[in-house]
Amino acid sequence: MADTFTAPTIAWFDLTPILVLLGAALLLLLVGALTPRWPRGLYAATTATAAGTAMVLSFVLWDDVTDQGARTLVADAVILDGFSSFATIAICAAVLLACLVTDDYLRREQLDGPEIYALYLTSAIGGVVMAMANDLIVLFIGLEVLSMSFYVLAASHRRRIESQESGLKYFVLGGFSSAFFLYGVALIYGGSGSTRYDEIVTAFNDVVPTERADALVLAGVALLVVGLAFKVSAVPFHFWTPDVYQGAPTPITAFMASAGKVGAFAAMLRVLTEALPNWRDDWRPVVWVLSVLTLVVGSVLAVVQTNVKRMLAYSSISHAGFILVGVEAAAHRAGEADPGQGVSASLLYLLLYAVLVLGTFAVVSLVARTGDGNTDLSAFRGLGRTRPALALGMTVLLLAQAGVPLTSGFIAKFGVIEAAVDENSYAIAIIAMLASVIAAYLYLRIMVSMWIADPEPADEALEPVRTPFSTVLAVVLAVGFTLVVGVAPGWIVSAAENATTIVHQVGP
């Protein structure tokens, strides 16, 4: 076999974002294990530098793809196009902001070490591979790299039983979702004879209809949707999210809610619209139902919570419903030369939400104080008096998540609703707007606690809220980005549209 094996040609520069992330992860694990503890902040600085470098390289590659066109790499296993470049930039931005929040958190909890940062990088690699994959097996590998990193990250606070519990729950339930996904891949392979996206399409375009194995593939599509719906926290596959988000260390919760969603939704968009466009009339109603359930359940259950991390967990589920509105809009033109606004609106929402949720959880991390346990609504009481600047930043981020105009959240929600209306999906657009109104009550409760609620004697016994530079910088960057995009959104909307016009197309 060695004599007949032909190694694929590899364009190394096109893979540099992944290679930079991988090199930094290996550096942290190897050098960090063989040397004494590094100076304070150096682990985070190394990780942030790697993420920033990968982001810059993604911009360079995006510019090259704009001029030269999209291309497949490593024997057609992955795709380099505007879609994958945009997703890579969003994931790297999430890593960079997460490092700023994590640095102070780990030192405060006396857990400072290279392991968390190395896992950030490996999970980012998994997310990037999911966005670039042109093969279901490659997608599964990326999914498992992302998931296993998250399992360990969720359980990384060894002195908190809640963290251990969240990691175990995520691992057990994540194993079920991976099994569903892999079984779906097997069925699709059995029906089409390939796991490559373009070859799956070609197999069913070139075969006489009487010979098509549609039933087998449809069962595989159903299982794929179940596996991916679990990863994006879509109802009814959302049950792991509140417990895992509440128990995991707060900066890691922020990272899972941002980078994890980018990778999972990028994979969902690519698989459904590029590999399975022939069955869009079959899976589009399923996405419609998932979106409506996710919007309604996420918004309604969020407003009855009293723990802010659980509130934001259900809020994250609601936001997943909004992104699914964009996926449903994209389904109408799956496989066509003109992708419409569904894909670009979903990509834009993912980037804007990633920044929003990281900034929001950065404030939660500070209010949680030492031990990461003060995340009840009462812990935010009086924050507007003791830390007015921090409370103001949190208010801006909450208003953005509610979709208030002149914030990035409004641009994100308006984009997916507009995409749905353009495809005449009026019912789902109306439901999304009503869900946004319901969810606004959740954010109002937190703001009332910060600015209006009267202090109680027990509040004086709480540790004062610290404002370390790195976490405050993350909040400032998130708030600044939110306001800039809200006031002048044209540039980033155009970037998202450009990312989908140079996407690798495989027509039905």
Average pLDDT over residues 36-62: 91
How far is it, in rounded angstroms, from Cα 381 to Cα 387? Answer: 11
Give me the residues paired with residue 196 across strands. 135
Angle (nearest 5°) at CA 36 between 33 and 39: 110
Average pLDDT over residues 14-20: 94
What are the boundaries of each domain within the chain?
12-501
Looking at residue 5, what is its pLDDT? 65
Whether pTM > 0.75 for this model: the answer is: yes
pLDDT at 204 over 80: no
For strands 78-80 and 71-73, give the pairing.
Answer: antiparallel
Residue 398 corresponds to which amino acid?
L
Q: Higher confidence at residue 268 or residue 37?
A: 268
Looking at residue 508, what is its pLDDT? 38
Segment among 98-112, 297-311, 459-473 with least mean pLDDT: 459-473
Model pLDDT for residues 428-485, shown as the tens digit of each residue:
999 999 999 999 998 999 999 999 877 777 666 677 888 889 999 999 999 999 999 9
The tokens describing 456, both together, are 């109680």
How far is it, in rounded angstroms, from Cα 356 to Cα 254? Answer: 10
Model pLDDT for residues 108-128, shown as the tens digit of each residue:
888 877 899 999 999 999 999
Using CA atoms, how far residue 319 sits from 80, 209, 366, 391, 427, in Å, is 27, 40, 24, 23, 18
Residue 254 corresponds to which amino acid?
A
pLDDT at 213 over 80: no
502 confidence band (pLDDT: 50, 70, 90) = low
DSSP 73: E
How far is it, in rounded angstroms, from Cα 201 to Cα 185? Answer: 14
Segment among 49-63, 204-218, 465-479 with least mean pLDDT: 204-218
271 confidence band (pLDDT: 50, 70, 90) = very high
How far is it, in rounded angstroms, from Cα 350 to Cα 254? Answer: 14
Distance of CA 202 to the CA centre of its chain: 30
pLDDT at 324 over 50: yes
Return the SS3 of 22. Answer: helix
How far is it, in rounded angstroms, from Cα 489 to Cα 415? Answer: 11
φ, ψ dihedrals at 376, nearest 5°: -70, 160
Which residues are within 8 A (CB) of 240 and not within 5 positions of it... i.e. 6 or more apart?
Answer: 169, 170, 173, 174, 230, 233
How far is it, in rounded angstroms, from Cα 26 to Cα 121? Answer: 9
Model pLDDT for residues 389-399, shown as the tens digit of each residue:
999 999 999 99
Helices marked H in 232-341? 241-247, 250-255, 261-270, 280-302, 308-331
Residue 450 corresponds to which amino acid?
M
Looking at residue 207, what is its pLDDT? 58
Angle (nearest 5°) at CA 281 between 87 and 341: 40
